[in-house]
Amino acid sequence: MPRQKLIERSDGRYACKYNGKFFYGKTPEEAKAKRQNYINDLGLGYNPDMSTVTFLEYGYDWLDAYRSSCNTKQRRQYENIIQDAARAMKKSYIRTITATDIQKLYNTLNGMSKSYIDKYRTTIRGIFRAAVQDGIIVRNPAELAQTPKGTAGEHRYLDPWEQDLIVQTYKDHDFGLFAMVMLFAGLRRGEALYFDIDRDVDFDKKVIHVRGAVTFSEGIQGSVSEGKTEAANRTIPLSDFLAEALKDHHGLLLSKQDGSMMSLMSFTRKYQSYITFLETKLNGCHKRWYGKTREHKELLKEGKKLPPWKNIHIRCHDFRVTFCTMCYNAGIPIKTLQAWMGHADATMIMSVYAKLTAEKEQFDATKLNDFTNSRFAH
């Protein structure tokens, strides 16, 4: 079969054809080379028509196709990951990205939380796996790349001195009563934001009704949901101690100046203000004045060391963990505690919340000793 002779077009280019697709070049050789590259790509399993798709473009297509049901907040997280990866790799076409590029990208995540790293890795792998199926690439460069371990977001049982500080100062800060309800009723943050004293507290029957929660999954303004699980709507006993703190108060535990529910931003600022307040109470001065007060200047003048500054590290969920652990230490049955906490599964209580304290261990050891003495001593 004679070789195809290309004729120069009116625009000065040459064109050749394969399966209805035209290839153009400034010379016949260039046009034929483009056609041959196309044929070679088909033979290797590529989709040549997608060879110039960028990582950013395909990442957004993947998000629309494979994460179409995610809410606004989740989509924003995916978009941030895709944009960050595109900036870090600095390569336009997804086809040109190598395993080394992915490993370098993952190395930049060192020091971040484990949950964020896991989501980042899952997103990147998902994009490249889909790209393989679509014929943009033939091998997944993210398949063997290793991510850093990440830092674990450990929730904890508050130390007794932290609990005492919260109880002793709850009247002195707007957040104080909010903290008391989370600490002594085990409410989640969203549940406490929705909590209305007039509606949800029955002082006569000594119970608290959890009827819903504020969620920020759709944005920072928040919306009301029925709760995190089917068991979220529940009744919790109201202790005399907490009832005394709640009496003479009305409406939401925490609200904007106009009485409406707080946005995520306003809540975050209020909580930061509360932590600063606790640190000030604990250390006797605001951190900005540490080393500058009259007492501190006198100590320094006398050649003495300043008392070490003590930071407060309390996460919102730590209040709930502490309530659950206090109940566990008090001998509350697991099934009862499951209902109070609003968990659908009791295993969550044991695996996450029920953290034995030294006091509980000693209490159990004493019970065992008393039992063996009464049973076997003669």
Contact by Cβ (8 Å): 91, 55: yes
Q: What is the pLDDT of residues 275-310, one digit of tens each?
A: 999 999 999 999 889 888 999 999 888 888 888 999
- pLDDT at position 1: 41
356/243 Cα distance (integer angstroms): 27
Give the pLDDT confidence of 110-125 residue by residue, as tens digits.
877 788 889 999 999 9
**Whether residue 219 has pLDDT greater than 50:** yes
Express each pLDDT in 150-196 by its tens digit: 766 667 889 999 999 999 999 999 999 999 999 999 999 999 999 99
- The per-residue pLDDT for range 126-148, each reduced to its tens digit, is 999 998 888 888 788 998 899 98
- pLDDT in the model for residue 63: 95
What is the reported pLDDT for 257? Answer: 85
What is the average pLDDT score of the chain?
Answer: 86
pLDDT at 47: 75
Q: Hey, is 157 helix, strand or coil?
A: coil
Q: Residue 262: which pLDDT band, with cuts at 50, 70 and 90? A: confident
Q: CA 189, CA 319: separation in Å to the nearest integer?
A: 9
Tell me the average pLDDT across 203-208. Answer: 96
DSSP string of 52-73, one letter each residue: T-BHHHHHHHHHHHHSTT--HH
DSSP string covering 82-136, please? HHHHHHHH--SBGGG--HHHHHHHHHTTTTSBHHHHHHHHHHHHHHHHHHHHTTS
Selection from 184, 187, 284 nearest residue 238 by Cα: 184
